[in-house]
Structure 1
Amino acid sequence: PDWEHTRYFLMFGVAEDHDSNPLKAGIGRMKTRGKAKFVSVNPVRGGYSAVADEWIGIRPGTDGLFVFALIHELLKADKVDWEFLARYTNGGWLVIQDPGAADDGLFARDKDGNPLCFDGKTKKLVSALLPDATPAMAGKHKLADKREAIPAFELLARRYMSEFYAPDNVADTIGIPADTIRRIAAELADAAFEQTVELDIEWTDWAGRTHDKMIGRPVSMHAMRGISAHSNGFHTCRAIHVLQMLLGSVDTPGGFRYKPPFPKPIPPLPQPTAGTGKPNTPLGGPPLGFPLGPEDLLLDDDGRPKRIDKGFSWENPLSVHGLMHMVIHNAWAGDPYPIDTLFLYMANMAWNSTMNVSGTIHALTDRNEETGEYKIPHIIYSDAYSSEMVAYADLVLPDTTYLERWDCISLLDRPICTAEGPADAIRQPVVKPDRDVRPFQEVLLDLGARLHLPGMVNKDRSPKYPGGYPDYIVNHERGPGIGPLAGWRGEDGHSQGRGAPNPGQLERYIENGCFWHDPMPEDAHYYKHGNLGYLNYAQDMGWIQNNKQIVLQLYSEVMQKFRLAARGHGDIQPPESKRERIETFFDPLPLWSRPFEETVIDEADFPLHALTQRPMQMYHSWGSQNAWLRQITSQNRLYMARQMGAKLGVGDEDWIWVVSLHGRVKAQARLMDGVNPDTVWTWNAIGKRKGAWALDDDAPEARKSFLLNHIISELLPPREDGYRYSNSDPVTGQAAWFDLRVRIEKCTASEAGETEPMFEALSSPPGVGAGRPATLRYGKELKPEASGQTGGVHREFIGNRAEVAKTVPGVAGGRGNKARAGRKKEGET
């Protein structure tokens, strides 16, 4: 979000541990300005919702329907940014209307392959990519072959102006009054079109046209896993993007902002490449990427998945993030094939990172009845802690903590940039390991060299990075001149983004506080998808291949290509059993569908939604065994609305059964006000198994804490033919963690006191936990009396210093709290 200029901030289901400090700092700046309304859409009124101006306690899995109702109202009121749609989206591109044809629903194109539009000035079909084209957004138009075509925007408007999406028709489903939906839509329109932001910044667009101002629709949005962790999550994400495009608030002043190295072309590179997959030979290409159509799926000659998780197959064709929750089950079942070795890194798949915990443990230990061998013969696991997964590994590779190793926070992975410029960072070891551990990155480099993997050895098979991970960070190149770190490249360290490896690069990072940030020119801050200054900059940095405009996609031709395959067109088609699934969910326009679990249960038997939330004090609940964090959260409860507790006869601390279609788990209840009345929730990953994490067997994490994972199945119930799909989004394969439906049963007196299911205690690896104190004594030497000293400004070590320096007095943007050259804050000397 553009915290400095936004007038309306709409947040959907964001966990409090993700991007936590920058979000809190941004919200603080926005609220301090006092000119923006903050609306939080979340079934639970957690930390962000608590400071919002309005909390919308939506029913889980219905966010997309809520967004479509907003779109419905905006279209009815003609509150859309027509200029933005025509200039920056494919809303005016003509879509072929020829049912049954192999190109039905694809874009009409000229002989050079350019998409066509109907030009409102010349009244002719022209390339939609021409700088001066004025595409019509509605109407039927005849193509050269006499067939009809319709602008993509008209197809969109036809769908979302349907009364199906009217607030009165969706209110009961989403749990939000129709008048509230209409009011939120009106507020969005008012912020976008009546509170327009104009910045006096001259800039040049992709076509070379100069503009004297940057004009913005100051509506910003932010969404995360709360919407994506549903089986309808992909289309919900698309719906939010469509809403932003209709308002014209994508990377404009006051709106949603791209952070470098984004945006990327749509769809971006690379595409998955199946390759040969032969032993002892390199892969033919990347085993992941962004498919452009069925031809990019990772299938063998018989149409079976090539990846063990069935990623990029007909089950989940666009599974960019993979299906980690299915790997162990598929390996155990030998579907699509058996494996010899399972190699995992810090993925606690025997406990809180898996669905169906008991089933996963069975898969890890099950043996072949004929041979007596494990069905998953060998397991190698690396972890920094003695987690539940360690006990199931044949070989454990102990990792260091982040304080004991080098790390690279790279533009090639998860960037930490601001919208005003790229940034990356390193972590350097601050203490030496005092036990037999090695950084996992260096273990991988060592293994790669021993296996003579290309890219990890020289021509003479000597290790390519003998200096370990620091050597790799500096000298690895993903492409010519492009490596893990973008700062201080080139032999002399004077290049940014692209340049030869610099032997002194890490030293330069250390000198600069371990961060690098390159402030972009002011005229490149907005409209990055169509801003020539930014596009040239991004091409020079190696993020995009050319400086062409990146057209935002209201309508997805890629999705339609998969749908056409399901209709019988093309050389690569889905099997009969999956045609209907592909036809339904590969819609070129976003759609809303009920979460899969709701379609296979009796909702009267399981009337409540069940969710997990992430504690803000720890990322992903990693480190929840930490002695200091345990003082904050050593036991989780199941939280429910007070009125629901009264209805069920449940009070604070009562023991209850949480029952799903898959199983049951026992927990203690806690009543609260700020939660959707049909939703229960708990903190994620607080429950531990006895014997793990070097905790005592009677620790509250083991005896009284619990996981909802026990009652979530990784598979949907069998279909009529007996096949079971994964419990995932049918497009992306994203695990549908939040589709869970449950009922609550109060425990009897004899059942109360301890959680279930309760597994036998694990044994810690040798030496783990030895000598740990029974009572923490850290700080014992501190005196209870006041020191008499005045407090100092906490400014010597501040993360994200450049961002904090904008608003916090006494904090400067450079190392040692010094202003960077040429970037002094107002009032600094």
Structure 2
Amino acid sequence: MARFSRRTIIKGGLASAFFAIGAKIGIGSIIEKLTPGINIARTSRRLRNGIPTTCSNCPAECGIYGFTDYGRLVKIEGFDGNPNNMGKTCSKGEAGLDMLYDEERVLTPLKRVGARGEGKWESISWKEAIEEITYRLKELKMKEMPEQLVFECEASLTTELIVKRFMNAFGSPNAITHSKYGNENKIVAQRLTWGEDFEVPDVENSKYILLFGSNPYESHTFFINLAKRIASARTENYAKLVTIDVRMTQTSGKSDEWYPIRPGTDAFVALAICNVIMREGIADIEFIENHTNVTPKMLSEHLKYYTPEMAEQISGIYVADIVRVAREFATFKPSVAISGGGITKHKNGVYSERCITLLNAITGNIDTKGGYCIPRRFALQDPVPLPNEPIADSNIYYSKNDSVLEHASRAEIIDAVKSRRQKVGVYISYEYNPVYSSPDSEDTAKLFKDEDIIPFFVAIDSYMTETAALADIILPSATYLERRELFSPPSFSMVPFVSFSQPIIEPLGKSKSIYNIIKEISKKIDPNIKKYFKMSEDNFLQASISHISELSDAGGIYYLMGHGYWFDTKMNQSLYKLFERKGFNTPSGKFEIYSERLREEGHDPMPVYVPMEEFSMKNRNAFVLVPFKTNVHTADRTANSLLLSEILHNNPLWINAGIAREYGLQDDDKVEISSKLGRIETKVRITQGIHPNVVAIATNCGHWQFGHIAQAKSFESNNAKTSHVWWEDEGNGIHINKIIPASIDVIGGGRDGWIP
């Protein structure tokens, strides 16, 4: 007779349950959930192994897996090994499939045959394209005018290394590489204060998170890497989340408290919070005395003007709330204050950013667990032989921020070229779309159309962007899913690491990586340039990380190809307060609350509030227009994705419900937005979630190039979905940059993204 124990019955029940579940949802699904990096084909049931790589669809640089079936990429999911995103991904990451197989991708070199912007092109061979480009470049070399070559791109570590190497070899100082990690105002403020480009908020270990004009659940530079850690802190640490913002963002709506502030007044509130902390004796006096270049007495004296009472008058936030937030921030430690484009993209952006850094400093939350941390990452080295630095002068840089910023701001570039202060013989852009993304975009388009100012323009891109459409030659670039690239994004584990992008499939059509494009150009210009690009792309990348001895010993890029990332397991993962061992990267080695550099240039050396008179709202019928980013699109790169454009394809104007009642407005009514540059008509969205003095609109809409999907138009292609753009009648929204004037912060050089 069979005997059954309780254990046998339980085991049998679990097994039955397992197979019952397997029958219901499929064994393949269970295997996928239990084994990251493994995927089961739904039709053939074939096992697919994921290839680890890095997503470049936003600045976060998340680790992803790519799964192929018979040589075609069929699925993207988060790579669990990456220390920053830890297996998570977002809609932009998933949209890599759309962008790779975009039916309107540029897959062969194109030459303009009509007038610039007319849209008439002919396909040419790579040989013809390279010969035409190098003919122009040889002319510049022969006339000893190398500085008339301007090369502009958004910089990743690898791109910046390659572009600057080429430009140095050519002899031009005009390699313009824009940072991914923050606008110019933020970078300048950070460098002036503690010698870094940006901060890494260690929010996962925080107990109090205070946001100023920042929306990390939707649009922060670090995107999912930061958002998931805030969510973790909320559940694991019971961290309090407080948001100060003119708009009810995704983050504001999930905060414990939201304060709709008058636009442009965040700095005064931050300084008033500092005042309360100093006045009530809850500041970290030890940090101020030992690690900053001011005394507590000097700081208290400076802050006494910024009272909570005055802050209430200026910002609209009540005194009691300012005082309570100050006490909580100083005592619920570790705490961290984080800024966003909502305060830095103004004409007072540099000073506003310095006020937020001050708040972190006086509470001793600098580079502490749960605080405002120094970024940990590796640099790449330029392989030998090294080209000499250019001896020619650049006439692009004219403002006093040039040695702080280390690259020209977009406003400076446009001004220098348009005014002919910087003469241009050849202009090259790489995956950069200033005609769409710049303020006063119509003026930028006129500049790129002008053949007297820009005689020859080469766009290296995968798509027919608004900028590429004005080029003389378009060279098809491989997407991040078809090329090799090294990354070292700021580490949220506080241990620097290197990640890798590698081809999931071979480049489609005739597209090539930026390294191989520049290598082809270099070969045809001059043997003295060619020698700097003799190496294969793999050998170049291998040499650029050879100074990281532990990674080299592990196999370098060949290790990365198999593992997707590398970090030194021997390093102490709880290494904080780096400044105690080596100081800050500033002239004094201290956290410079007082900036001698600002004093020398005639500016206030202390963090101060700079009022914006145009926001005074003296005209009852005037509002401040706030452009904002969403969690769906990335700047100007994702608009032709079916997946993303179906989610977000138009951008109604947010307006306060009380104001709407005054004007008799209802949802979807049409209104006119005007500035000194012109007028645009759009529909309204009525909401309680916005300050009465403010109206707001999403960016990333209103494309007039890029492709049919970006313009909300159906078309016939090999993909049946392109003929069923159901939102065609709704349209693709408006392009707000047409009426945003090109005004800047005179210290930082960064654009002012708000319109009074």
1:327: how far off? 2.3
Relative to 1, partners in 2 of residues 1:65 and 1:606: Cα closer, same or farther, differing over 3 Å? Answer: farther
1:254: how far off? 3.1
Counterpart contact for 2:433–2:636, Cα < 8 Å: no
* Corresponding residue number in structure 2 for 1:659: 674
Q: Using the alignment, how far apart are the partners of 1:597 and 1:381 within structure 2?
A: 38
- Determine if the alignment matches structure 1 residue 78 to structure 2 residue 281: yes
1:658: how far off? 0.6
1:551: how far off? 2.1
Counterpart contact for 1:252–1:526, Cα < 8 Å: yes
Counterpart contact for 2:478–2:513, Cα < 8 Å: yes
* Corresponding residue number in structure 2 for 1:538: none
Q: Using the alignment, how far apart are the partners of 1:3 and 1:315 within structure 2?
A: 31
Per-residue CA deviation, residues 31-83 of structure 1 (Å, 9 max, x unaligned), is 11253211112222212222111112222322111111111222222221111
Relative to 1, partners in 2 of residues 1:441 and 1:62: Cα closer, same or farther, differing over 3 Å? Answer: farther
* Corresponding residue number in structure 2 for 1:556: 595
1:388: how far off? 1.3
* Corresponding residue number in structure 2 for 1:155: 298
Q: Using the alignment, how far apart are the partners of 1:437 and 1:523 within structure 2?
A: 41
AA at the equivalent of 2:244: V
**Unaligned runs of at least 5 residues, structure 2:** 1-200, 380-386, 715-726
Q: 1:712 aligns with which of 726, 731, 740?
A: 740
Q: Using the alignment, how far apart are the partners of 1:596 and 1:432 within structure 2?
A: 55
Superposition TM-score, scaled by structure 2 size:
0.65
Q: Secondary structure at the match of 2:360?
A: helix
- Determine if the alignment matches structure 1 residue 511 to structure 2 residue 600: no
1:281: how far off? 7.7
Relative to 1, partners in 2 of residues 1:617 and 1:507: Cα closer, same or farther, differing over 3 Å? Answer: same
Alignment of 1:322-721 (within 5 A): 322-334=408-420, 336-351=421-436, 353-366=437-450, 374-410=452-488, 415-452=489-526, 461-462=530-531, 464-468=533-537, 470-476=538-544, 482=547, 486=548, 488-490=550-552, 493-494=553-554, 504-512=555-563, 514-519=564-569, 521-522=571-572, 525-531=575-581, 550-562=589-601, 583=602, 586-595=603-612, 597-598=614-615, 603-604=618-619, 607-620=622-635, 622-689=637-704, 692=707, 698=713, 703-714=731-742
Superposition TM-score, scaled by structure 1 size:
0.60
Relative to 1, partners in 2 of residues 1:166 and 1:337: Cα closer, same or farther, differing over 3 Å? Answer: same
**Unaligned runs of at least 5 residues, structure 1:** 92-136, 138-152, 192-216, 265-279, 286-299, 301-305, 367-372, 495-503, 536-542, 563-582, 715-726, 742-829
Q: Using the alignment, how far apart are the partners of 1:316 and 1:712 within structure 2?
A: 24
1:416: how far off? 3.5
Q: How much is the aligned-residue C-alpha RMSD, in angstroms?
A: 3.1
1:594: how far off? 2.3
Per-residue CA deviation, residues 553-601 of structure 1 (Å, 9 max, x unaligned), is 1211222232xxxxxxxxxxxxxxxxxxxx2xx22111221237548xx
AA at the equivalent of 2:598: M
* Corresponding residue number in structure 2 for 1:728: 744
Q: Using the alignment, how far apart are the partners of 1:67 and 1:472 within structure 2?
A: 47
Q: Using the alignment, how far apart are the partners of 1:44 and 1:281 within structure 2?
A: 50
- Determine if the alignment matches structure 1 residue 283 to structure 2 residue 426: no
Q: Using the alignment, how far apart are the partners of 1:307 and 1:505 within structure 2?
A: 40
* Corresponding residue number in structure 1 for 2:60: none
Counterpart contact for 2:334–2:369, Cα < 8 Å: yes
Q: Using the alignment, how far apart are the partners of 1:4 and 1:348 within structure 2?
A: 35
Alignment of 1:665-814 (within 5 A): 665-689=680-704, 692=707, 698=713, 703-714=731-742, 727-738=743-754, 740-741=755-756
Higher helix share: 2
Per-residue CA deviation, residues 413-440 of structure 1 (Å, 9 max, x unaligned), is xx24134311120111111233221122
Counterpart contact for 1:171–1:177, Cα < 8 Å: yes
Aligned positions, number? 533
Relative to 1, partners in 2 of residues 1:555 and 1:261: Cα closer, same or farther, differing over 3 Å? Answer: farther
Q: Using the alignment, how far apart are the partners of 1:463 and 1:522 within structure 2?
A: 38
* Corresponding residue number in structure 2 for 1:107: none
Relative to 1, partners in 2 of residues 1:426 and 1:680: Cα closer, same or farther, differing over 3 Å? Answer: same
AA at the equivalent of 2:214: V
Counterpart contact for 1:80–1:246, Cα < 8 Å: yes
Q: Secondary structure at the match of 1:405?
A: coil
Q: Secondary structure at the match of 1:432?
A: coil
Q: Using the alignment, how far apart are the partners of 2:373 and 2:365 within structure 1?
A: 9
Per-residue CA deviation, residues 441-482 of structure 1 (Å, 9 max, x unaligned), is 32234334544497xx5xxx54534313x33211137xxx53
Question: 520-529 or 423-432: which moved more?
Answer: 520-529
* Corresponding residue number in structure 1 for 2:232: 29
Q: Using the alignment, how far apart are the partners of 1:72 and 1:689 within structure 2?
A: 49
Q: Using the alignment, how far apart are the partners of 1:453 and 1:604 within structure 2?
A: 64
Q: Secondary structure at the match of 1:388?
A: coil
1:358: how far off? 2.0
1:529: how far off? 0.9
Q: 2:310 aligns with which of 150, 162, 169?
A: 169
Relative to 1, partners in 2 of residues 1:520 and 1:682: Cα closer, same or farther, differing over 3 Å? Answer: farther
Q: Secondary structure at the match of 1:624?
A: coil
Counterpart contact for 2:464–2:706, Cα < 8 Å: no
1:691: how far off? 7.2
Q: Secondary structure at the match of 2:370?
A: coil
- Determine if the alignment matches structure 1 residue 253 to structure 2 residue 369: yes
Q: Using the alignment, how far apart are the partners of 1:736 and 1:549 within structure 2?
A: 31
Q: Percent identity?
A: 22
Q: Using the alignment, how far apart are the partners of 1:318 and 1:420 within structure 2?
A: 25
Per-residue CA deviation, residues 756-795 of structure 1 (Å, 9 max, x unaligned), is xxxxxxxxxxxxxxxxxxxxxxxxxxxxxxxxxxxxxxxx
1:255: how far off? 2.0
Relative to 1, partners in 2 of residues 1:219 and 1:170: Cα closer, same or farther, differing over 3 Å? Answer: same
Counterpart contact for 1:380–1:394, Cα < 8 Å: yes
* Corresponding residue number in structure 1 for 2:176: none
Alignment of 1:209-224 (within 5 A): 217-224=333-340
Relative to 1, partners in 2 of residues 1:625 and 1:605: Cα closer, same or farther, differing over 3 Å? Answer: farther
Q: Secondary structure at the match of 2:434?
A: coil
AA at the equivalent of 1:505: G
* Corresponding residue number in structure 2 for 1:776: none
Counterpart contact for 1:329–1:363, Cα < 8 Å: no
Per-residue CA deviation, residues 249-294 of structure 1 (Å, 9 max, x unaligned), is 11223322223149x9xxxxxxxxxxxxxxx984149xxxxxxxxx
Relative to 1, partners in 2 of residues 1:687 and 1:552: Cα closer, same or farther, differing over 3 Å? Answer: same
- Determine if the alignment matches structure 1 residue 63 to structure 2 residue 63: no
1:624: how far off? 2.3
Q: Using the alignment, how far apart are the partners of 1:656 and 1:677 within structure 2?
A: 16
